[in-house]
Structure 1
Amino acid sequence: MSITAYGTPNAVGEEAEADTCSPGLACLLIDREEAERLAGMLKAIADPTRLQIFRLIERAPTGEACVCDLAECLGFRQPTVSHHLKLMTDAGLLNKERRGTWSWYSVNHSGLRKLRDILEPSAH
């Protein structure tokens, strides 16, 4: 994740404002494109059905799940589940592997790490 510093402390000789509300905020921002990617990931997982799907895949004994099994667990039709899986795959949260006529999904650990990094910044 790239961080950009905006705003610098006053140069020597410039007076500091007397009415500041915080003691020198560092203004370390996430790069705008990275922030948009992360927001897309958060939007993709911020749905009750998608959270359920993600948890099912994450806890699957083999670390992966087929669309047909997910549809059966959730009680949804396969096209509905496929729609949710596509959103999470496009966002970088899941990996997809085609086997014959079915697709198998697993957690994209790199994508999950990116979410954890933004949600748990002190872990760095």
Structure 2
Amino acid sequence: MVVMDYIPGETAFHRKEIQGKDVPSSVYEGVATAITKLHDERIVFGDRRPPDIMCVTPAMEPNSTARIRGMLIDFDWAGSDGIDRYPATFFDEGFNWAPGVVRYGMMDKSHDLVTPDQLQRYVAH
């Protein structure tokens, strides 16, 4: 079971496309850590597009000195590695999906490890 909660912050999409700010690499590092934890439980996240990545800033966390960190949100595609499938109706145009990510295709942990070009363009280097 996955339990979700409200997280104050902004999505990577909002930060880049609406505010015109780069997404710091610390956000991507946080996402990579979260993906590793999911994979340890044989769970594939499946949808690493910028609207599903939250940028949480220290100002949003009282008494925190941490830098901006990344969190995954919107687990509606998450499923079991090698068992569950991607949605049959997802919009697959205009985004550089990992090889093997197709409508109703089998979910595989390796799909989460590929950094799509469209996601990478949001990250400040």
Shorter-chain TM-score range: under 0.3
Higher relative contact order (CA 8 A, sep 6+): 2
Higher helix proportion:
1
Q: TM-score, normalised by structure 1?
A: 0.26
Higher strand proportion:
1
Q: TM-score, normalised by structure 2?
A: 0.26
